[in-house]
Amino acid sequence: MAKHILVVDDDLDIRTIVKAALESDGYEVTLAENGVVALEKFDSVNPDIVVLDIVLPDLSGTEICSKIRAKSGVPIIFLSGKSDDIDRIIGLELGADDYLTKPFNPRELIARVKAVLRRTQGESPKSDDSTTLSCGDLVLNTEQFRVFWEETEIVLTKTEFLLLKTLVRHPGKVYSRSELMSGAYDSDVYVSDRTIDSHIRRLRNKLQELGASPIQTIRGVGYKIVKS
C-alpha cells in the first residue's frame, strides 16, 4: 500500500512540484495551503508522514508540529527558507524528524522521506528483541511502538522511541552519541551530536512530566538509562 504524505505549504508552485515528484515515486499525496486546513486534513487522512513548511499565513509550522505531537508520533519533515542552525535545532526540539532548507531539489526531498520512513516505520524486529522491553516502571512494546510509565502511555516520535529502545536494551550501559545514532537512524543517514541531544532532551521532558528521570548524562561520553 502506498504511503500517504501530507504536504503543507502556502506556495502553490512548491505544492504543485512536490506533489508531482512524490506521486511519480509512488506516494499518495494530500495538500494543505495553511495551518487550519493542515490540521483538518491530518485528522481526516491519517498520513504516514507530514512535510511541513515553517512559515505559513495563519498558524506557524512549529505550532502545527506541537499540536500534532500532542496526539501523534507521525514523522515530520520541516521545510524552511532559513538556513540558520538555530532554526534547525528548534525544529528538532519540537519533534521534527528531519529538516530541509529551501530551495531544494524534489529528489532530495524524496530521499529524505524514504530515509525517515525506513527508520521510523520500516524497522523489523531483530532476533534478539522481545516484544516487550522494560526498565523499572518504564515499559516498551516494540511491535506496536508504544511506551508506558507506570501504565500511563507516553506519545513519542518514532526517532524518540528508537533512541529509548536502544537505551532500554541494556540498562546501565553508557551509550555514546554515535551508538545512539546507529540505533535510531539508517547507516546512510548522518545527524550531528546536537541533533541526538535535542531528541534526548525532548524524551527527557516527556518522562519528567510523569515524574520519571531514568535517563542520565555521562559527561563527555553519552547517555545511559537506569531504574527510576
Question: What does 125-169 look like in DSSP terms, one character per residue?
Answer: --TT--SEEEETTEEEETTTTEEEETTEEE---HHHHHHHHHHHH
Which pLDDT score, from 0 to 100, does residue 97 have?
80
CATH of the domain at 58: 3.40.50.2300
Mean pLDDT by 10 residues, the chain (228 residues): 92 94 94 96 94 91 88 87 61 73 89 82 46 88 86 86 90 89 66 82 91 91 88
**∠ CA 185-227-168 to the nearest 5 degrees?**
20
Q: Which residue has the cell 546536537?
A: 194
CATH of the domain at 194: 1.10.10.10
End residue of a domain, out of 87, 121, 155: 121
End residue of a domain, out of 71, 96, 121: 121
Which pLDDT score, from 0 to 100, does residue 126 have?
39
Domain presence at residue 15: yes
Which pLDDT score, from 0 to 100, does residue 7 have?
97
Domain presence at residue 19: yes
pTM of the complete model: 0.60
Which pLDDT score, from 0 to 100, does residue 10 have?
94
Per the structure, the count of domains in the chain is: 2
Domain presence at residue 146: yes
Domain presence at residue 210: yes
The distance in angstroms from the start CA to the end CA of the chain is 41
Cα–Cα distance for residue pair 117/65, rounded to 1 Å: 18
Compute CA 12 distance to the chain's CA centroid, rounded to the nearest angstrom: 26
Q: Which domain holds residue 18?
A: 4-121
Q: Which residue has the cell 552519541?
A: 177
Instruction: Check: CB of residue 18 under 8 Å from CB of residue 100.
Output: no
Domain presence at residue 127: no
Q: Please give the order of strands across the beta sheet that includes 146-149.
A: 132-135, 138-141, 146-149, 152-154
Indicate the DSSP class of residue 26. T
